[in-house]
Amino acid sequence: MSNPASPPGAANTAAGESPFRVVHVGDLHFWSLRLGPMDLTGKRVLGWGNLLFGGRKNRFRMEEARPLAGRLRDLRPDWLLFSGDFSSTSRREEFQVARTQLLPAAREAGLAVYTPGNHDAYTRRDLRRRTFAQCMGEEFHPVLDAAGYMGGQGVGLLAINATTSNGLGAHGKFTARHLEVAQALLGQWGSSLRLLLVLCHFPPEDPPGVLPHDRGLQLREAQPFLTWLTESVAAPKFWLHGHHHYRWLYASPSVPGLVYLNAGAPLQCRKGGQPDLGFHELEVADGRVRTVRTHFRDSRREWHQRETEPPEQPGRYINLQDIVPE
């Protein structure tokens, strides 16, 4: 478990001072066409086939990574949080491209934290060797199990690595260890915690009727943690995730004060167009997320941003994907 004291470089902003800014990015899916001897064996064959013949290399535009990274660098947030799937098949070349593109932004942020997704632990070998952590380096604070940080405005971060060996599946798994770390952090933070951010690639709840098909139980065995959030954490809660390539805000119907923020997939193009490079910036003041600011680019490659107030009514869903101007 990481030291829950304020991380180096993070702003410790008291109430009434400058807002604490958190940038949330997800599902970049960097890919590379360079092949090694282990790339045509096991599960990676399926990933390679999806890249070449399933259209992934055309949907995820690597040439757009540079302007996205430049925007992230220029924002210089207090926290820069990545909710996983830097890679497509956990290949070292993919992580190296991600690191090269994103390192300047990570260095400008007060703290950068990266929790892996299922594509970052694509094979049992990559999961066991923790390839993602070896390749991305300490600047991104890759989460091996669970880690906690305390920032300004009473913002606590619980980052969870829920990747697991799942064969051909794409689900994550919550463990007793994750809950133990969360309980210990809450005990150490005490009354200083005013807002809890949970950073995890997988969400335990999805808005009904939004996804094109029911993926079902993408984060398994999470109910004990949701129960703990309900019974033990009085502070407002934001669950920052990805996995589903669609941006939304969704107020949990079962956990009071919990809002899910889906990062979307910034480099993915839709309907034959250019990717909008969308990502989120949270502005926290007086221990609350006052606004969720979505940054995106239009077809003329001009940057825009739109502010949205977080939903409070349980079960309320806000679509943040279809906001890009023509």
235: tokens are 């502070």
Q: How far apart are CA 96 and CA 255, in angstroms?
A: 38
Q: What is the pLDDT of residue 278?
A: 95
159: tokens are 């980052």
Kindly list the domain boundaries of the chain, sorted by start residue.
20-319
Q: What is the pLDDT of residue 158?
A: 98
The 3-state secondary structure of 152-214 reads HHHEEEEEECCCCCCCCCCCEECCHHHHHHHHHHHHHHHHHCCEEEEECCCCCCCCCCCCCCC
Q: What is the pLDDT of residue 45?
A: 55
Q: What is the pLDDT of residue 18?
A: 86
Q: What is the pLDDT of residue 11?
A: 39
Residue-wise pLDDT tens digits, 44-77: 556 555 555 456 667 788 899 999 999 999 999 9
Q: How far apart are CA 260 and CA 205, in angstroms?
A: 8
The answer on pLDDT for 324 being more than 60 is yes
30, β-bridge pairs: 87
Residue-wise pLDDT tens digits, 280-289: 999 999 989 9
How many residues are recorded in the chain?
Answer: 326
The answer on pLDDT for 4 being more than 80 is no
Q: How far apart are CA 182 and CA 196, in angstroms?
A: 11
Residue-wise pLDDT tens digits, 28-37: 999 876 655 5
Average pLDDT along the chain: 87
Best CA proximity match to 201, nearest among 152, 257, 142, 255: 142
Q: What is the pLDDT of residue 44?
A: 57
Contact 83, 200 (CB under 8 A): yes
Its pTM stands at 0.89
Q: pLDDT exceeding 90 applies to what percent of the chain?
A: 67
Q: What is the pLDDT of residue 10?
A: 38
241 compared with 131, residue with greater pLDDT: 241
Residue-wise pLDDT tens digits, 94-150: 999 999 999 999 999 999 999 999 989 877 888 888 899 999 999 999 999 999 999
The answer on pLDDT for 309 being more than 90 is yes
5 compared with 259, residue with greater pLDDT: 259
Q: pLDDT exceeding 70 applies to what percent of the chain?
A: 84
Decide the pairing of beta strands 279-285 and 20-25.
Answer: antiparallel
The answer on pLDDT for 268 being more than 80 is yes
Range scoring the smallest mean pLDDT among 35-39, 149-153, 181-185, 273-277: 35-39
| pLDDT grade for 6, boundaries at 50, 70 and 90 | very low
Q: What is the pLDDT of residue 15?
A: 42
Instruction: Measure Cα distances from 181 to 160, 191, 279, 319 in Å.
Output: 10, 17, 28, 32
Q: What is the pLDDT of residue 232?
A: 97
Pick the CATH number of 20-319 from 1.10.3080.10, 3.40.50.150, 3.60.21.10, 3.40.47.10: 3.60.21.10
The answer on pLDDT for 13 being more than 60 is no
46 compared with 292, residue with greater pLDDT: 292
Residue with structure tokens 């969308």?
Answer: 278
